Amino acid sequence: MKRDLAMAFSRVTEGAALAGYKWLGRGDKNAADGAAVEAMRILLNQTEIDGQVVIGEGEIDDAPMLYIGETVGIGGEEVDIAVDPIEGTRMTAMGQSNALAVLAAGEKGSFLKAPDMYMEKLVVGPGAKGCIDLNKPLKKNLENIAKALDKTLDTLVVITLAKPRHDEVIAQMQAMGVRVFAIPDGDVAASILTCMPESEVDVMYGIGGAPEGVISAAVIRSLDGDMHGRLLPRHHVKGDSEENRIHGADELNRCKEMGVEANRVLTIEEMAKSDNVIFSATGITKGDLLDGVTCQGHIATTETLLIRGRCRTIRRIKSTHYLERKDPQVRDLVL
């Protein structure tokens, strides 16, 4: 992909972050998400790409904007787009840390097309590349990772989501002596931390959304890390109720329609077929990966992580935005 697209995509996530920030702490996660989605769509449609959304806000029947299959851009290079306009809508609504606006772009056909369902994920940085296998027990994986990193288990750091479904596995890891960082939400940011040189996180493990899993795979491949994923129907994650079984059956049917198999381990190469990826994430709230938006009057500051996978360049961009001078369509969303 053209180098110039990287800065264009950073502009897209900055706009989404600023729009989401307007709703920070107001208790309305849907309004925050809606504003970020609209800003992202406006800015993508000003970008010189022939883009198609392959990971987005849902199917066309469920999402008015940035739905799976939507075309974006004013024409140019053919790219697939994976977006999460706000990773952490609840965190934004409640003023909690680690909320991001996220976008990954790759060559056409780069990203796994999967339903919006659960995915089990195991992520490591470059030092443990090649030694993970979700077909093996988590304990064995952690032992192999520790060996690859020349660490003892009591110095290994695993990040996961603080969800009831993880209570048992968190207790298991802690019983092994592993240090566990449990965060409320945000497994894309958590996955990236495994590959950042300044981070002490070694492993990300947990069950979260499949769209976030594909986005994570794209950026982790760009950073020479490793990842396995496994699509799981709802009744395997949320409990074997009749409602969950019906929902899970629908998910399994969607998997068949999309040509992807549930309950099978997916390698990083299957989820992200190339490292020719551009990834952009802008902080909405301050977190472990990025600073959040700060605002004084109508002047806002953002921090963006911009990664070009092919040359493995990582940039952190601090930007100052005079909100009154934004494009009129975006200005209405950020002021």
Pick 118-271's CATH classification: 3.60.150.10, 3.30.420.40, 3.40.50.720, 3.40.190.90. 3.40.190.90
**pLDDT at position 60, please?**
65
Q: How far apart are CA 87 and CA 102, in angstroms?
A: 7
- 324-328 contacts, C-beta under 8 A, 24 or more apart: 324/298, 326/15, 327/42, 327/46
Annotated binding residues for Mn(2+), as ranges? 33, 57, 84, 87, 212
Domain boundaries, the chain: 4-108+276-334, 118-271
pLDDT exceeds cutoff 70 at 63: no
Q: How far apart are CA 180 and CA 110, in angstroms?
A: 32
Pairing verdict, β 179-183 and 157-161: parallel
End-to-end Cα separation, the chain, in angstroms: 33
Q: What backbone phi and psi angles, to 5 degrees, belong to 128?
A: -115, 15
> What residues contact residue 173 under an 8 Å CB cut-off, 6+ apart?
138, 142, 158, 180
Q: What is the pTM of this model?
A: 0.93
**Portion of the chain with pLDDT greater than 70, in percent:** 99
Q: Which pLDDT tens digit goes with each residue over 93-135? A: 999 999 999 999 999 999 998 888 999 999 999 999 999 999 9
Indicate if 118-271 has the same CATH topology as 4-108+276-334.
Answer: no
Annotated binding residues for substrate, as ranges? 87-89, 118, 163-165, 185-187, 209
By the 10 Å C-beta count (0-12 exposed, 13-18 middle, 19+ buried), 171 is classed as exposed
Mean pLDDT of the chain: 95
Residue 106, SS3?
strand
Fold of the 4-108+276-334 domain: Fructose-1,6-Bisphosphatase; Chain A, domain 1 (3.30.540)
Annotated binding residues, as ranges? 33, 57, 84, 87-89, 118, 163-165, 185-187, 209, 212
pLDDT band per the 50, 70, 90 thresholds, residue 28: very high
pLDDT exceeds cutoff 90 at 310: no
Q: Which whole-number Å values give the CA distances from 128 to 109, 142, 224, 228, 247, in the listed order?
A: 27, 10, 10, 13, 36
Mean predicted confidence (pLDDT) in 298-302 = 98
